């Protein structure tokens, strides 16, 4: 075995490495050193969580959650890279998980869901309108009622109605025009009879 004499350059590197070691490498050497990094970066983590819009009352608890994650993942950290970006990633994920957890757990007013069913007044008005329409339709003669229902209720085109009923297109239009007039008169008559009661 030969003894090597350190050169001047290697002693400078050794001194430089020795000065840099406490800052970068020494605290990262073992999982026990994780606590030292955590203590050093505690203020940074608090500021980071504050910037991530974590409520002030939850910051200290979340910083401790960051420490737990950091301790568990300590072996996966590569000391060749800066520690703060790694800590920021952990803090970001912890803050996001906290936000989801708070959203799920906090009792609060539920979403304002409107009842899709009509209110009692609207239901009554709908029933009355339906009765009026059915009564008015019954007053129409069947040939005109068929054209009226197919066009206004079934949304069929006039050429399809004429074809289905086997009548000329202009006859279908004539029946529709007459059925509209009769329907309108029937509705007015039914409504006026209902008001006089």
Domain match, 147 and 93 both? no
Asked if 17 and 77 sit in the same domain, the reply is yes
Do residue 26 and residue 76 come from a single domain? yes
100 and 134 both lie in a single domain: no
Task: Tell me if 132 sits within 8 A of 187, measured CB to CB.
Answer: yes
Does 7 fall in a domain? no
Query: Mind listing the pLDDT tens digit for each residue in 149-196?
Result: 889 988 889 998 898 889 999 999 999 999 999 999 999 999 888 755
Inside any domain, residue 140: yes
Q: Which residue, of 59, 88, 104, is where some domain finishes?
A: 104
CATH number, domain at 70? 1.10.1740.10
3-class SS letters over 28-74: HCCHHHHHHHHHHHHHHHHHHHHHCCCCHHHHHHHHHHHHHHHHHCH
Find the CATH number of the domain harbouring 174: 1.10.10.10
Per-residue model confidence as pLDDT tens digits over 85-120:
889 889 989 998 998 888 777 665 555 566 677 788
pLDDT (average), residues 38-54: 89
Q: What is the DSSP string of 127-182?
A: HHHHHHHHHHHHTS-HHHHHHHIIIIIS---HHHHHHHHT--HHHHHHHHHHHHHH
Residue 111 domain-assigned?
A: no
Q: Which domain holds residue 38?
A: 13-104
- Residue ending a domain, choose from 70, 104, 138: 104
Query: At which of 65, 88, 104 does a domain end?
Result: 104
Q: How many structural domains is the chain composed of?
A: 2
Instruction: Let me know whether 92 and 155 are in one domain.
Output: no
Contacts of 173 (CB under 8 A, 6+ apart): 158
Distance CA 92, CA 76 (A): 18
Binned at pLDDT 50, 70 and 90, residue 74 comes out as confident
């Amino acid at each position: 075995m030969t003894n090597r004499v350190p050169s001047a350059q290697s002693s400078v590197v050794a001194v430089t490495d020795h000065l840099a070691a406490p800052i970068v490498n020494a605290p990262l050497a073992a999982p026990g050193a994780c606590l030292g990094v955590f203590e050093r970066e505690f203020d940074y983590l608090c500021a980071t969580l504050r910037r991530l819009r974590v409520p002030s009352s939850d910051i200290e608890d979340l910083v401790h959650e960051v420490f737990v994650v950091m301790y568990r993942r300590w072996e996966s950290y590569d000391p060749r890279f800066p520690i703060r970006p790694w800590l920021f990633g952990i803090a970001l994920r912890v803050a996001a998980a906290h936000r989801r957890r708070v959203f799920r757990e906090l009792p609060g007013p539920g979403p304002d869901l409107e009842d899709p069913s009509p209110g009692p007044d609207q239901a009554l008005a709908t029933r009355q309108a339906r009765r009026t329409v059915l009564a008015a339709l019954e007053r129409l003669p069947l040939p005109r009622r068929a054209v009226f229902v197919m066009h206004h209720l079934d949304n069929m085109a006039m050429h399809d109605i004429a074809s289905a009923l086997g009548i000329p297109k202009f006859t279908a239009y004539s029946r529709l025009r007459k059925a509209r007039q009769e329907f309108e008169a029937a509705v007015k008559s039914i409504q006026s009879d209902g008001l006089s009661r």
